[in-house]
Amino acid sequence: IDPLNIRIKIISGQQLPRPKGATFKADSIDPYVVIQCLGLPIDCSEMRTATVSNDRNNPIFDESFEFNVYLPDLAMIRFLVLDDDYIEDDFIGQLTVPVTCLQPGYRHVRLMNLHDEVIPNASLFIQIALTNRFRFKHKLKRKKSWNQKNLVDLKQLGWRNLDDKIKSIFSLVHKSSLLRNSIEKYLIELCDECCLPESANIAQCLRIIVLRMTTCSSVTSLKIVKTESGYPSLKVDGELTAKLTRTMDLLDRILLELFLAIDQSKNHITS
């Protein structure tokens, strides 16, 4: 089953009230937003923004989050605004929306109190993007091209030295084409795993992977190291989920193919 990919960007808040249960508290608050996905156990997750200090009128969050929902009909998204510097009460406002009611684009989320009453003028300004994931495996099929033909099918010119030279050149082109097709295959699979279109590049995939790593509670550290060949690699400490393990395997494969292409290019250039 291909999940529904939900990307939510929390841009800002407007006219956030002081928590009603707070005591001995100044007018200023330190708000942050918690986004919860509620539904099946596989769909449940929670993320939060950074805290904005001393700003209740127009706090700027400007953070993006991503959820993959396998059963949207039973899932809901909850926007919860809390005060990080609270006394006795940290609740500012909330709103829970069924996933089936989400609409893409820029939206204002009207906040409600604990009694489901609308808080006057209090809202969140957000951006929503919904993407239905579809496998791109059928796009990996390519028609038989000249690079898949046998090299002996090339027409001979009649000059042995020239024919041998052309044959060696086409052999290199053939190997390069196979390597390129392999890189393209792994890149499309990685884009699919990161819920991105097949036109995305590795940098965009890395942003999604790093975001998933930082929001995974079992990941203790994430850093870039150099391999024995001198190429960069992503080192992760901690226990990965099955999805993150599959994503990292795809990333390692495509990096290996890219580094192999670089090494072969260096060898052919020097020779």
* DSSP states along 235-247: EEEEPPPHHHHHH
Q: Which amino acid is at 15?
A: Q
pLDDT tier at 268 (50, 70, 90 boundaries)? low
Count the helix, strand and coil residues of the chain and give each as a percent rounded to the nearest 5. Answer: 35, 35, 30
Residues 6 or more apart in contact with residue 145 via CB below 8 angstroms = none
In sequence order, what are the beta bridge partners of 112?
Answer: 94, 118
Express as a percent the part of the chain with pLDDT over 90.
Answer: 28
Q: Please classify residue 50 by burial: count the beta carbons closer than 10 Å to its beta carbon, then call 0-12 exposed, 13-18 middle and 19+ buried.
A: exposed
pLDDT tier at 142 (50, 70, 90 boundaries)? very low
Give residue 234's region: left, alpha or beta (phi > 0; psi -120 to 50): beta
Tokens at residue 225, please? Answer: 């190291």
Tokens at residue 203, please? Answer: 């940098």
Q: Please classify residue 59 by burial: count the beta carbons closer than 10 Å to its beta carbon, then call 0-12 exposed, 13-18 middle and 19+ buried.
A: buried
pLDDT tier at 210 (50, 70, 90 boundaries)? confident
Q: What integer pLDDT is reported at residue 235 of this predicted model? A: 86
Q: What integer pLDDT is reported at residue 124 of this predicted model? A: 96
Please give the Cα distance from 32 to 63 (Å, whole number).
11
pLDDT tier at 266 (50, 70, 90 boundaries)? low
Q: What integer pLDDT is reported at residue 21 of this predicted model? A: 65
Per-residue model confidence as pLDDT tens digits over 147-169: 444 444 556 666 677 667 766 76
- Tracing tokens 């391999």 back to the chain, one arrives at 227
Q: What integer pLDDT is reported at residue 214 of this predicted model? A: 84
Mean pLDDT across the stretch 80-89? 82
pLDDT tier at 141 (50, 70, 90 boundaries)? very low
Picking from 25-34, 67-76, 232-241, 249-258, which range would have the lowest pLDDT averaged per residue?
25-34
Q: What integer pLDDT is reported at residue 23 of this predicted model? A: 56
Q: What integer pLDDT is reported at residue 137 of this predicted model? A: 44
Please give the Cα distance from 181 to 140 (Å, whole number).
9
Highest mean pLDDT (candidates 22-31, 99-108, 170-179, 253-262): 99-108
Mean pLDDT across the stretch 253-268? 76
Closest CA relative to residue 257, chosen from 185, 156, 167: 185
Please give the Cα distance from 153 to 149 (Å, whole number).
7
Q: What integer pLDDT is reported at residue 144 of this predicted model? A: 43
Closest CA relative to residue 190, chosen from 71, 182, 124: 182
For residue 95, pLDDT beyond 80: yes
Q: What integer pLDDT is reported at residue 244 of this predicted model? A: 86
Mean pLDDT across the stretch 2-8? 85
For residue 220, pLDDT beyond 80: yes
Mean pLDDT across the stretch 209-217? 85
- The structural domains of the chain, with segments of one domain joined by +, span 4-132, 138-270
Please give the Cα distance from 112 to 203 (Å, whole number).
39
Average pLDDT, the chain: 80
Q: Which amino acid is at 271?
A: S
Mean pLDDT across the stretch 202-213? 87
Per-residue model confidence as pLDDT tens digits over 61-80: 989 898 989 899 999 999 99
Residues 50, 61 contacting (CB under 8 angstroms)? yes
Domain 4-132 sits in CATH 2.60.40.150? yes
Residues 73, 50 contacting (CB under 8 angstroms)? no
DSSP type of residue 147: G
DSSP type of residue 55: -
For residue 94, pLDDT beyond 90: yes
Q: What are phi and psi of 134, to 5 degrees?
A: -130, 140
Is pTM, for the whole model, over 0.85? Answer: no
Q: What integer pLDDT is reported at residue 259 of this predicted model? A: 82
